[in-house]
Chain A
Amino acid sequence: MIDSATRPDSVQRVSATATVSTTAAEASSAARYNARYNRLGMSIARLTSFFVTAILVSIVGYLAVRGLPRFSPGFFIDSPINLGREGGIFPILVSTALLALVSLVIAVPLGIATAVYLTEYTREGHLTLVIRFGAECLAGIPSIIFGLFGFMLFVVSLGMGWSIMSGGLTLACMVLPTIFRTSEEAIKAVPDGLRRLGYSLGATKSQVITRIILPQAKNGILTGIILALGRVIGETACVIFTTGISMEMPKSLFDSARSMSVHFYLLAREGTSIEMAYTTAFALVLLILLVNSGANLLMQSAGRR
């Protein structure tokens, strides 16, 4: 009784196992195939990421080897002597900082205001499309074109001459799209619920923007500002046309000055002092790495929330 009841079942089970075993064979070959491709993909990915890191490490390493012999505290606090063959880069550091300051003081409020206007005060339409498209085009223009534009407008037409002011204004035009787009993305990422919550607590529109939206978007906006700062510090073409090449300590924002990247460019091109050029380059790259790590830390802390 038990036998007759189990036998057909067991027969069935055997046949079932048979089909399973064929599909299992197919599956395992497919799995081997997949695994092979997986390994290949992984090694390609590993190789390329190794390349990316290797490029950075070799640049920084090369600059360190060439630049470190002259790298000392004195390099940062002394004035250049004999066209930069001796001494340090103190006035050049100050000029670089002033250029960055002027450009950000102008570009940051403008960029954030544009972002607030487009996200909070307009509906999506032709106007916003045009503004956004314009910003994207602006971001794609080579910096030397900005340099020429700044030269024509600020240096010549507005009579500011080669000066930190002309350079800062030109750099501001250059990084405006970066700040505007990152601010816009950060503001868009603020949940709508928080806006409604603000209104429900009796806030006006401007209070919702200044007390809820901007604080919430703060990290994203700061990230954009720091990325812009990195670009401003490293910019050469734009600056050489608008700020000039004076090595003196600037006495006002309307003095000509020299940024670190311009200093490096001139030292290397004129063959004045290749050693000092590399030392300047190393300092510049360290500065930019520092600025970008700051941006990274901020992005991480924004992501954690």
Chain B
Amino acid sequence: MKALVIDDSRVMRRIVGGILTDVGFDVVEAGDGKEALDRLEEHDDVQLCCIDWNMPVMTGFEFVVEARKRDEWRDITLMMVTTEGEQNQIVRALAAGAHEYVIKPFTPDIIIDKLQFLGLVEAKETL
């Protein structure tokens, strides 16, 4: 499994990438939406994008809109990971084609729970 982590903050790419690596993803990174589109052109096996909203050059929202125009990327799961917590922003992102929404700050468990819900990692066994 391969994931693309899109955030202009290197420390946030490290944190999100570390969580994804721990659950079995190979991780590639991009610092803005435009760079992310380039990464998707290079890596045709990306299954998940974790996307910050506020970035220079191209925002995460603009990236979602652009990515959803491409048929060959329709199976990629798009998950916003952002400080944008207003209800209208969440609705805009989901309407544009994002599948899930995580508001920073987050714990690893929050990310993993979302991935389980999306069927990208196996659910934890319950006792």
A-B interaction: no
